[in-house]
Amino acid sequence: MMSADPENEILLRGGRVLDPASGLDAPADVSIEGARISRVGPNLTSADARIIDASGCWVAPGFVDLHTHLREPGQEYKEDIRTGGRSAVAGGFTSIACMANTQPVNDDPATTDFILDRARQGSPARVYPVAAATRGLEGKVMTEMSALMAAGAVAFSDDGRTIMDSGVMRLVLEYSRLVEAPVMTHAEDRRLVAGGVVNEGEVSTRLGLPGNPAIAEVTLVERDLMLAEFTGAHLHVAHVSTRGAVERIRAARDRGVHVTAEVAPHHLALTDERLLDYDTNAKVAPPLRSEDDRIACRAGLADGTLDAIATDHAPHAQHEKELDFVEAPPGMIGFETALAVVLDMVREGEISPLELIRRLTINPARILRLEAGCLAEGSLADVVVIDPSRKWHYDPAKGYSKSQNSPWAGSDLEGRVLHTLVGGVPVFDAERGVLI
């Protein structure tokens, strides 16, 4: 995160404060002094504070995104740490974890160091590198976890690739215990994926495209749950997309396995039907699934089986997404649309505002053991002000990412971030845009 001097005092006045960590859901004011929250309560006053009017709005901790692709180093034509960080705060994300599938791969401390250095120079969001679990993401030789942790890595993952060798995965999990960091699994059995590019089912048949079956995810999730149980390690399942995975995670949690899991907004909102026009902007890994899977993911998020919402923000350039469907790279950008998309579950009565905010803030913060996601007095002043019913039109060309590959391009959305503060510094407001 870039450092900027916080103002003396900022008073967020008249909002509905949602702080899941303390269970607070009530009208209140929030006062920020320096980089931290100084007071939370009704009718706060101050002689010289800058006032931000939050009436009619929700005031919540800044969101924590466990799963992003910032593309730097190596693919800065898609995104860089500065533009990714700007897009993040425009979507209310104040802490973001970035995956290791950069070029070079983030598999050694020098690259981790570089990422953190770039973040300090240009990102308004706090950036937390996830280091590779194996060298070069090749699934063969483990990385040096303690050196990577010392450099600032917060978790380990070969995201984008699956660690197919169960013996390697076992070792990764065992060593992750020693360094006390979670292993985030990209669970897709490559042999079952077998080149599939859309969910295997009626839609893949109609499109005449190779299918990627749900079972490719479910078998790998089950293997990793068994290995987590055996090793006692903390397994985090990335981008859950199937009913089978939700059910197996729920069962494993019930028998005491240390597992956490995330789901992406697109798997909560869209199904493979979205691909009937061959829109490569809706091509993603794992793929958009069936309606039954979507319903199961929503239920899993609501009942807490899936702990967190993570965007899997995955920028790709226009010329790449203009390739034919099989060739185009999977992934979609996600920071700026995430809130509006997931608020649908509140509108549909499937989850309360406080529980939805919990899955965007304190839950992901705890998974990565970050100081974030909380509005209690004394905590870091990473805060968002949200208007949950503000209607707006999404044009990715007017957004902050370098890429525009969103399935929501040109859509009318409901629910918007109006202000984002990081460490007491206003970094975004809906009127003026990103401020630093």
Give the span between the Cα atoms of 379 and 155, in whole angstroms. Answer: 23
- Please say which residue, 102 or 260, places its beta carbon nearer to ligand NCD: 102
Tokens of 166: 């169960």
- Give strand pairing partners of 61: 383
Tokens of 408: 């929501």
Confirm or reject binding of residue 1 to ligand NCD (CB under 6 A).
no
- Please say which residue, 69 or 236, places its beta carbon nearer to ligand NCD: 69
Contact by Cβ (8 Å): 18, 354: yes
- Please say which residue, 15 or 287, places its beta carbon nearer to ligand NCD: 287
- Please say which residue, 101 or 404, places its beta carbon nearer to ligand NCD: 101
Confirm or reject binding of residue 407 to ligand NCD (CB under 6 A).
no
Q: Among 27-35, 80-88, 125-133, 325-333, which window interacts with ligand NCD (CB under 6 A)?
A: 325-333
- Please say which residue, 192 or 346, places its beta carbon nearer to ligand NCD: 192
Is 80 known to be catalytic?
no
Confirm or reject binding of residue 312 to ligand NCD (CB under 6 A).
yes
Confirm or reject binding of residue 64 to ligand NCD (CB under 6 A).
no
Pairing of strands 211-212, 58-61: unpaired
Confirm or reject binding of residue 185 to ligand NCD (CB under 6 A).
no
Q: Report the residue from 84, 109, 160, 426 that binds ligand NCD according to the rule CB under 6 A.
A: 160
Confirm or reject binding of residue 266 to ligand NCD (CB under 6 A).
no
Least distance (Å) between residue 129 CB and ligand NCD: 15
Is 194 strand, coil or helix? Answer: coil
Confirm or reject binding of residue 314 to ligand NCD (CB under 6 A).
yes
Least distance (Å) between residue 237 CB and ligand NCD: 13
Confirm or reject binding of residue 282 to ligand NCD (CB under 6 A).
no
Give the span between the Cα atoms of 103 and 195, in whole angstroms. Answer: 23
Confirm or reject binding of residue 65 to ligand NCD (CB under 6 A).
no
Confirm or reject binding of residue 69 to ligand NCD (CB under 6 A).
yes
Catalytic residue of the set 189, 312, 382, 387: 312
Contact by Cβ (8 Å): 66, 97: yes
* Residue bearing tokens 């599938």: 101
Contact by Cβ (8 Å): 305, 215: no
Write the DSSP assignment of 279-322 as a string of letters: -GGG--SSPP--HHHHHHHHHHHHHTSS-EE---B----HHHHT
Task: Using the CB atoms, write b or e for 183-196: b if 16+ within 10 Å.
Answer: bbbbbbbeebbeeb
Spatial CB neighbours of 178, under 8 Å, sequence gap ≥ 6: 145, 146
Pairing of strands 425-429, 93-98: unpaired
Q: Report the residue from 155, 181, 214, 285 that binds ligand NCD according to the rule CB under 6 A.
A: 285
Total site size for ligand NCD, rule CB under 6 A = 12
- Please say which residue, 162 or 176, places its beta carbon nearer to ligand NCD: 162
Confirm or reject binding of residue 84 to ligand NCD (CB under 6 A).
no
Give the span between the Cα atoms of 16 and 317, in whole angstroms. Answer: 39
* Region of residue 52 (phi > 0: left; psi between -120 and 50: alpha; otherwise: beta): beta
Confirm or reject binding of residue 139 to ligand NCD (CB under 6 A).
no
Confirm or reject binding of residue 426 to ligand NCD (CB under 6 A).
no
Q: List the catalytic residues.
A: 312
Residues binding ligand NCD (CB under 6 A): 69, 101, 159-160, 186, 284-285, 312, 314, 329-331
